[in-house]
Amino acid sequence: MTIFFSSIHELIAQSAISAHSGEVLSSLMGESFRQAIVLAQQVSDTDIMGQIKNAWDNFVESGQIWALIIGMVLGYGFRGFRGG
């Protein structure tokens, strides 16, 4: 994963030091057009459905599904006792 920020600290410093709102806007607009902020990400595994299936299988195999079901049943029961 590659992240490149081009002088974002300079943008923040200029807007914090500047006393007039017009100066803030002009300095931000000028800098943002002259120096682009580039965010790049390299994705190696694009199989989204496979990732969802693996996560679900892990959820079932680890027993977390039973905790979810028991929690929902107990929560529904407590809701009935409270009258809500």
Decide: 6 and 38 in contact? Cβ < 8 Å.
yes
> Are residue 40 and residue 52 in the same domain, yes or no?
no
- Please tell me whether residues 7 and 39 are part of one structural domain: yes
Please check whether residues 42 and 54 belong to one and the same domain: no
- Which residue has better confidence, 63 or 44? 63
The pLDDT value given to residue 1: 43
Check whether 57 has a pLDDT greater than 50.
Answer: yes
* pLDDT score, position 42: 73
Task: Give the total number of structural domains in the chain.
Answer: 2
Q: Say yes or no: 15 and 41 in one domain.
A: yes
Residue 81's pLDDT is 84
If asked whether residues 38 and 1 sit together in one domain, one would say yes
Specify whether 4 is located in the same domain as 39: yes
Same structural domain for residues 39 and 70?
Answer: no
What percent of the chain shows pLDDT beyond 70?
Answer: 50
At 37 the pLDDT is 55
Same domain, 60 and 41: no
Domain residue limits at 55: 47-83
The pLDDT tens digits of the residues spanning 3-44 come to 444 555 555 555 555 455 555 555 555 555 555 555 566 778
Q: Which residue has the higher pLDDT, 79 or 60?
A: 60
Q: Domain check: are 59 and 20 in the same one?
A: no
